[in-house]
Amino acid sequence: MIKVKLPADWELGFQKEKDLQPQEWHPASVPGAVQLDMMHTLEERDWTRGDGYRQFRWMEDVWWTYRTRFDKPSLSGSDRLYFHSKGIDYAFEISLNGKALLQQEGMFRRVDLDLTDHLEVKNDLRIQIAPVPKSHHERDDRTQANRAFKPAVSYGWDWHPRLVPLGIWDETSLEIRRDFLHDIRTRYSLDDSLENADLAITANVAAGVESVSVSVECKGDTVHKQEFRQGEGEFSGSIKLEKIRLWWPAGHGEPDLYELIVSAFDRNHKLMDEHRTTIGFRKVRLVRNTGTEREDPGFPKSRLLPPVTLEINNRRIFAQGTNWVNPEIFPGVIGEDRYRDLIVLAAGIGFNIFRVWGGGIVNKDFFHECCDRTGMMVWQEFPLACNDYPDDESYLSVLRPEARAIIERVGQHPSTVLWSGGNELYNSWSGMDDQSLALRWINSLCLELTPEIPFIPTSPLQGMGHGHYLFYDPSSDEDICQLMARMNNTALTEYGVPSPSDAEIIRKIIPLEEIFPPSPDSAAWIVHHAFKSWQDDTWLCPEVIEKYYGSSENLEEMVERGQKLQAAGYRFIYEAARQKWPYCSMAINWCYNEPWPTAANNSIVQHPALPKPACESIREACRPVMASASFPKYQWHPGEMLEFDLFMLNHSARDIPAGKMTIAVNGGDIKTWQFGEVQENTVLKGPRLMIRVPARVRDQGMTGMEIALKVLGHPEWDSVYKLPVKA
């Protein structure tokens, strides 16, 4: 498709009723959000400070109209003028010169409107957007989203303010198109050796074309080129590629990609149209976790646990990663830089998977392209979360085409390795179950369009675990080490440890007079999720910080301590899950990023893309090869007996030869472990050590002891743990 984009100036207005007209027009940013345009217009104060976000509330319930006016462009030959949008949020009607051309409910289907036959000399294109969909008006919370195919998070979550975007949220343009190739589809199949691929390419070819060429490039080299005599009609070509390079997830090989270029030529071999597709060859399966293949003895028999181990290119992968949430409240302003910054940061930590959580949006194309290139696997959820979505045909008639659009767009990326119907749908707070027609339809469409990608209806399923979300839970008197010691999940796909945000961030969002000490009654702290989010003291948990460190003198000290605790907690969790490989196949924390500056959160990256110290401790815990230990609890008393297990973790793709590990407590060697070869992708469990907690302990900021595991000749595999000791 050869396109020329026309410059377009957009304006925005609102009205109280559908059939009224806006009284004023304001400049609009496209893509963007109606709220942001109005804010700029009204010159409101910074809405992220204090409870400033509340000023948007009235904007939920009015009608919005975008308009752009343009002269008819000159169109030659087969040129057509299209209005194209990758996303308009949420229910809308598009009209040209007063004539309605399209009505749609759903923000994920793309709009491709051929305006050519409706053009006049002067044109007025309008997009009227309905108020925020709400299934009821009783409670301003996520349940209002339970009849809409729209991210539930924006209706309010324990780390997301109530702020529901509306408007044009992805690339949108008026464009002149000259298409000679339509409906291009490419499918590949791999032989059993995974060394050779068959590609089948189909397209509709327009009149005037005399030949079609298909070429395949990899790393800049053309590896295949073939020309077909082909006039108007159905084109169908097949190509064999030998000795292909596979797409591998990060840490297991290179994420090699191919470029497929389909070109159409006229009788003079002049290029008339060209279409490019990126392909990554990989085979994905979701297989049973090792150790779950046999029934418990005795009767009655139930079913085995569902499989939740990703196998890529016949290799089982420990999925170590994180839950991705919207990086902005208004997805219209998420740009390529933001996606790139966050994905590069995640790759640097050693992550190989994002669970794109079902409470948020399905990301823009660049997210998926970037994951393809970095080898980051994507577990893509559909936008259903923590609600009871109905079996009504009115809902299903929106869900089906929206889901189809998502599957066709996202499913073509090699990084997409798992579909999930949505978040926590089979739990009591949602109330759905396997009989849901919505989930059966999503399953059915995924099967029809991408049978090569596994599907699960929701997370968690039996055997998988969500939570806990605290370092220490006073109600059960259990800390994160204790929780991990009894954990026997097949996959940890959500678990969190909260921390305060950097003091610099907090100072920007909390008025000076409320900063310290943080009060559970401060509206600003509450609004920014420090208190009364999920539980009374989350996510700041000041008593937990005090439990381990004593009272803090100032904001900076409290933040540092809280972030240290988070860093320690996450490290224990990632290592504990890896220690239980291959029974446990995933460690995916709640959560990676955040949509706005919070005062405290489970996130490890602060808005917009600022890492917390936990990123570094998780990077330590995610080293492909490393020494590791498990501890039955976090805080100790002098004289107690501490028993802990040793491990050599090898999640790399190579075998590690036999070696020697020395274990030291507070600098004094207490034991060596001569370990044997550690085969690729395995965990070697070592001896259990027992020590008496020293009475005199070193001062390391916090009063505690230090346990160091040192691998002879491999300092890069060493691990040092600090555990607090309380007299």
Interface ranges with a copy of itself (CB under 8 A) = 285-288, 293-295, 298-304, 306-307, 424, 426-428, 433-435, 437, 440-441, 443-444, 447-448, 451, 454-456, 458, 460-469, 473, 476, 483, 487, 489, 492, 495
Residues with Cβ within 8 Å of 23's Cβ and at least 6 positions away in sequence, in order, are 13, 15
- Cβ distance to a copy of itself smaller for residue 76 or 302: 302
- Running DSSP on this structure, what letter comes out for residue 306? P
Residues with Cβ within 8 Å of 54's Cβ and at least 6 positions away in sequence, in order, are none
Q: Which of 107, 77, 75 has its CA nearest to residue 91?
A: 107
Distance CA 77, CA 15 (A): 41
Q: Do residues 586 and 287 lie in contact, with contact meaning Cβ atoms separated by under 8 Å?
A: no
CB count in 10 Å sphere of residue 279: 24
- Give the strand order in the sheet containing 309-312: 284-287, 309-312, 315-317
CB of 346 to a copy of itself, least distance (A): 23
Q: Do residues 99 and 117 lie in contact, with contact meaning Cβ atoms separated by under 8 Å?
A: no
CB count in 10 Å sphere of residue 676: 11
Q: Do residues 696 and 674 lie in contact, with contact meaning Cβ atoms separated by under 8 Å?
A: no
Q: Which of 681, 675, 683 has its CA nearest to residue 709?
A: 675
* Tokens of residue 408, six digits: 């066709």
CB of 435 to a copy of itself, least distance (A): 5
CB of 622 to a copy of itself, least distance (A): 20
Distance CA 545, CA 605 (A): 20
- Cβ distance to a copy of itself smaller for residue 292 or 719: 292
CB of 348 to a copy of itself, least distance (A): 28
- Cβ distance to a copy of itself smaller for residue 298 or 715: 298
* Tokens of residue 148, six digits: 């809409």
| Burial (Cβ within 10 Å: 0-12, 13-18, ≥19) of residue 5 | exposed
CB of 288 to a copy of itself, least distance (A): 6
- Cβ distance to a copy of itself smaller for residue 450 or 552: 450
Strands (E), 511-609: 586-589, 600-601, 605-606
- Cβ distance to a copy of itself smaller for residue 220 or 451: 451
* Tokens of residue 573, six digits: 């969790």
Distance CA 395, CA 388 (A): 12
CB of 580 to a copy of itself, least distance (A): 13
Tell me, rounded to whole angstroms, the distance of Cα 432 from its chain centroid. 23
Residues with Cβ within 8 Å of 483's Cβ and at least 6 positions away in sequence, in order, are 468
Q: Do residues 388 and 424 lie in contact, with contact meaning Cβ atoms separated by under 8 Å?
A: no
- Cβ distance to a copy of itself smaller for residue 118 or 288: 288
CB of 300 to a copy of itself, least distance (A): 3
- Cβ distance to a copy of itself smaller for residue 465 or 498: 465
CB of 303 to a copy of itself, least distance (A): 4
Q: ∠ CA 497-499-505 to the nearest 5 degrees? A: 145
CB of 302 to a copy of itself, least distance (A): 5
β-strand partners of 645:
630, 688
- Cβ distance to a copy of itself smaller for residue 307 or 518: 307
- Cβ distance to a copy of itself smaller for residue 81 or 377: 377
CB of 235 to a copy of itself, least distance (A): 23
- Cβ distance to a copy of itself smaller for residue 251 or 496: 496
- If you compute the radius of gyration of the chain from its CA atoms, what whole number of angstroms results? 28
Q: Which of 498, 471, 466, 526 has its CA nearest to residue 601?
A: 498
Q: Do residues 146 and 388 lie in contact, with contact meaning Cβ atoms separated by under 8 Å?
A: yes
CB of 396 to a copy of itself, least distance (A): 9
- Cβ distance to a copy of itself smaller for residue 228 or 441: 441
- Running DSSP on this structure, what letter comes out for residue 158? T
β-strand partners of 448:
none
The amino acid present at 493, given as its one-letter code, is T
Q: Which of 413, 400, 404, 402 has its CA nearest to residue 453?
A: 413
| Burial (Cβ within 10 Å: 0-12, 13-18, ≥19) of residue 513 | exposed
- Reduced to 3 states, what is the DSSP secondary structure of residue 366? helix
CB of 82 to a copy of itself, least distance (A): 33
CB of 529 to a copy of itself, least distance (A): 20
- Cβ distance to a copy of itself smaller for residue 19 or 477: 477
CB count in 10 Å sphere of residue 579: 19
Distance CA 206, CA 361 (A): 36
CB of 261 to a copy of itself, least distance (A): 29
- Cβ distance to a copy of itself smaller for residue 443 or 552: 443
- Cβ distance to a copy of itself smaller for residue 304 or 523: 304
- Cβ distance to a copy of itself smaller for residue 51 or 448: 448
CB of 444 to a copy of itself, least distance (A): 4
